[in-house]
Amino acid sequence: MTLHTIERRRHGRQSVSVVLPVLNEAPSLAILLPRVAHMLERCGVDWEAVIVNDGGNDGLEDVVAQFETSWHGANVQLLHLSRNFGKEAALTAGLAAARGDAVITMDGDGQHPAGMLPEMISAWRDGVDMAIAAQHSRDRESWVMRSAKRLFYRLLQGGERFRIPSGAGDFRLLDRRVVQALLQLPERTRYMKGLFAWMGFKTRVLPFDAEARTAGNSKFKWWQLLELASLGMTSFSMKPLRMVSLAGVVISLLAIAYGLYIAAEKLIVGNALSGWATLASGMMLLSGIQLICLGVIAEYLGRIFEETKQRPLYILDRRVDHSAVGQTEQP
């Protein structure tokens, strides 16, 4: 038993916050909340649910009110962001509001099974700071999607001092110290998976099978996934920039070799110089490559621009706090 665990025990009853970012997930949440509550009570912890409404408008308040009346002793905080800021921002808002000794982040669509919660909490009680529930199989995803993700992780990793576990999503338990560390990270661009990996701490990966959504469709469109991938890449790897320089070197070498070849052909064989077709296609290829390279550099430039603006990650519209967890005085 580590010193840290002993410290936790001394506190008496442990408390756990469950952070649920939601964008129009009321039907799923109505099923999920009692399941989560049931699991957490079985673990014998004080618990609160921190629900972050990421600009949705679908009767979430009714679902929450119904849950609060039907579940005796439910502790719920409901945060409304002023518009849709994206899941990563919603998660950050939830983490900032959560008051538990440990915080569990979980999707509100029912794809993260509440049945994993006891296992995560017991890992935490063993002294693990971060328990990641990682998706076992991605059977539900298409072959193209799976290969694209694999390629992305391969590019992102390699030679770094920390690894981003592939398959790991945003279903995690974080010890209070990890939450505190995360909230201290100043960057505007929140590629959560990367940030968590960067922070280190004692981590355990627990595999699980993702469930099908209980209702509705995925809120992510393919171009948003691309955007997220670009965000992850530009905030955690300089590899694309190095590839740009490498491409420059390779193309220059090829051009020199080809130039020598043409000169030799003219001088030795005496062939007349022609070949405007080669010239035209070569030029087009090169300007294409140059534009791609500029695009790569522009991605990084854009990232720097975002960071220098120093805007808050999200804006809170309203906060309804019915949670007694972590409050010194009971209401």
Closer to ligand UDP by CB, 48 or 88: give it: 88
Give SS3 for 19: strand
* Using rule CB under 5 A, residue 109 touches Mg ion: yes
Asked if 231 interacts with ligand UDP (CB under 6 A), we say no
Q: How far is the CB of 224 from ligand UDP (least distance, A)?
A: 8
Name the segment binding Mg ion (CB under 5 A); options: 96-104, 107-115, 181-189, 231-239: 107-115
Cβ nearer to ligand UDP, comparing 101 with 107: 107
Among 220, 222, 261, 305, binds ligand UDP (CB under 6 A): 220
**Does the footprint of ligand UDP cover residue 110 (CB under 6 A)?**
no
Strand pairing partners for 321? 77
Contact with Mg ion (CB under 5 A): which of 24, 111, 235, 323? 111
Q: What is the spatial distance between Cα 305 and Cα 100, in angstroms, rounded to a whole number? A: 35
Q: Taking Cα atoms as reference points, which of 122, 205, 195 lies closest to residue 167?
A: 205
Residue 48 binding result from Mg ion, ligand UDP, none, given CB thresholds of 5 to 8 Å by partner type:
none
**Cα 23 to Cα 58: distance, rounded to the nearest angstrom:** 9
Q: How is 75-90 classified by DSSP, letter by letter?
A: -EEEEEESS---HHHH
What are the two backbone dihedrals, phi and then psi, of residue 49, each rounded to the nearest 5 degrees? -110, 130
Going by DSSP bridges, is the β-strand pair 15-22/76-81 parallel, antiparallel, or unpaired? unpaired
Please tell me the distance from the alpha carbon of residue 145 to that of residue 260, in angstroms, as a whole number: 44
Q: Which residues lie across from 203 on neighbouring strands?
A: 130
Q: Residue 92: which of Mg ion, ligand UDP, none does it interact with, CB under 5 to 8 A by kind?
A: none
Among 46, 86, 234, 314, binds ligand UDP (CB under 6 A): 86
Please say whether the beta carbons of 115 and 39 come within 8 A: yes
Residue 25 binds ligand UDP (CB under 6 A): yes
For Mg ion, the binding residues in 152-181 under the rule CB under 5 A are none
Residues that bind ligand UDP (CB under 6 A): 21-23, 25, 54, 84, 86-87, 90, 107-109, 111, 218-220
Residues that bind Mg ion (CB under 5 A): 109, 111
